[in-house]
Structure 1
Amino acid sequence: MSNKLNELAGFASNLPGYSVKLLKIGDAAVLQSLYEQCTEFALLTDGQPPSPTAAREEFDAVPDGKTTEDKYIVGLFDPKHELIGMIESIRHYPDNQTWWLGLMMLSPQQRGQGLGSEFYQAFENWVSAQGVKQVSLSVIEVNELGLQFWKSLGFEVIRKTEPRQFGNKIHAVYVMSRPVAAMV
């Protein structure tokens, strides 16, 4: 995994005062704290608060055909070195030209200030430098704020899925995609 750490070079260059770190399993407790700060998202999605092992499970959850070596969980730390955000992604999924952004969270106190857009842009710049052509993600239908956020960043809905189970809830999902701007 040390090779992954080197790959984060330049990730936060447009986030002065903030730092990023590739999170590893040893960071599960810190990540769990962020999950618990973002309980409203778990309630919206699953109808229940995050489990006490939600962060730990995040490190091992990968789609079929992928391994944990394809997974990147990048933590965003404020100037006091506290975890305030994260992006979980899978490289080369569902194809070799795409990175899948599985989850992006910001602590509630950090929202509405443009930091989420800056964090995403830093992520996109980073994956662009690796030759990726697009980023894809999904948003549950009832997450209107999330859908608006991703649309504001240029993501377009490419399809809507049939409703499926998420914890105690059932949701249709919008699959969205955005071409990655080439680095100059």
Structure 2
Amino acid sequence: MTPLKYLQSYPPALQAQIRQLMDNGRLGEYLQRRYPDRHGVQSDKALYTYVAALKQEHLRNAPAIDKVLYDNRLDLTHRALGLHTAVSRVQGGKLKAKKEIRVASVFKDAAPEFLQMIVVHELAHLKEFDHNKAFYQLCEHMLPDYHQLEFDLRVYLTWRELGTV
């Protein structure tokens, strides 16, 4: 029995339910029923607008975001669904930090809820750098069903790995 690498931290009973759906060939059906839509945010410009709107709604006082893009190089095997960085540059006598958010390109064809969950996660890092209690409280504030979406996203990644996409 191969381990469910995206679901390893979840209780064995929950993993067993997902494994049963996999064994019966119904995991894709489960996901399609829960998340039937695909988002229309296809370009980097549209992604920037999407992220800026969420930031404006929930994190007005957070640092500005300078760049947002889909990244083909983000590797799901290293658990990088999205990435937030601060690129520091010297301009004159000052040190400027440019904030960037990158989203793995595999999410161009995902449910809008999954894209929103990833963006909320990366935006939360503007205020909280570590994955601590305050970080997850901020995620829940911005997206009330954050934890369920994170679980379902992990199920989606498991399904993609089956090669039935």
TM-score, scaled relative to structure 2? 0.31
Q: Which has the higher contact order (CA 8 A, sep 6+)?
A: 2
Larger % of helix: which? 2
